[in-house]
């Protein structure tokens, strides 16, 4: 029972953060580990809860009309391909190398967010031709999907920054597309863990309900307030990711 008391409240918070700016895994995965769940089971069980929550936030963005169906579908396919490639590469490369790269990249990303006060602002969105927006989004899904398979933390945050900064999407459409990409990669990963018996289903389902609540509330705030909510949460997630990498 103590596992539920530790995991469920923290997973609610993770779902809330994840629905807004990604990075919920920075909170939820350590919660499972703190509750004494072995690493592989923690990762698999976390995928069950996060998948349940992501379904809700994705549906809410779709209901609000913030998901570009064709773009999101193509991006999701490329993200799955990238994730599979990344997972295989992770067996060959040194994690220390990637962590060193992240320590260099994260301050630059944070500076960009601080400097760009109009991140995802409606006036700047859709300033690219549709073909360029599609190309950038698909490439981002492939590359960040590969990162997700290779290492993972902050995947949603990086996607959101690329879709608003390079693809010039408004923050709501970028958030919706990010959720579709995340959902597809989560489902693929969850299926893998289930097949290999690495999911504590009762704990995963219980935490999933709390994750759903967090995603529902967080996605609602984005739909209503957009940039005012996303920008500060992105900065907090980047800071947490930076600290986590430093501590190893």
pLDDT of residue 123: 47
pLDDT (mean) for 143-150: 81
Average pLDDT, the chain: 81
Q: What is the pLDDT of residues 44-82, one digit of tens each?
A: 898 899 889 989 889 988 988 889 889 999 999 999 998
Task: Report the alpha-carbon distance of residue 167 to residue 135 in Å, rounded.
Answer: 9
Contact 134, 142 (CB under 8 A): no
């Amino acid at each position: 029972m103590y596992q539920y008391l530790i995991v469920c409240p923290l997973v609610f918070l993770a779902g809330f953060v994840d629905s807004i700016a990604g990075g919920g895994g920075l909170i939820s995965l350590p919660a499972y580990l703190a509750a004494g769940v072995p690493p592989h089971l923690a990762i698999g069980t976390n995928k069950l809860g996060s998948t349940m929550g992501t379904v809700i936030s994705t549906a809410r963005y779709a209901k609000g009309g913030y998901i570009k169906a064709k773009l999101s579908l193509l991006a999701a396919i490329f993200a799955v391909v990238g994730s599979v490639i990344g997972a295989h590469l992770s067996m060959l490369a040194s994690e220390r190398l990637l962590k060193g790269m992240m320590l260099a990249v994260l301050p630059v990303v944070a500076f960009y967010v601080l400097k760009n006060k109009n991140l995802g602002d409606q006036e700047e969105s859709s300033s690219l031709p549709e073909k360029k927006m599609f190309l950038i989004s698909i490439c981002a899904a492939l590359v960040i999907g590969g990162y997700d398979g290779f290492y993972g933390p902050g995947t949603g945050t990086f996607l959101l920054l690329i879709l608003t900064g390079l693809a010039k999407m408004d923050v709501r459409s970028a958030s919706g597309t990010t959720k579709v990409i995340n959902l597809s990669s989560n489902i693929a990963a969850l299926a893998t863990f289930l097949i290999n018996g690495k999911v504590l289903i009762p704990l995963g389902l219980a935490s999933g309900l709390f994750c759903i609540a967090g995603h529902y509330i967080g996605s609602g705030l984005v739909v209503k307030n957009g940039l005012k909510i996303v920008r500060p949460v992105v900065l907090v997630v980047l800071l947490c990711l930076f600290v986590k990498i430093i501590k190893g």
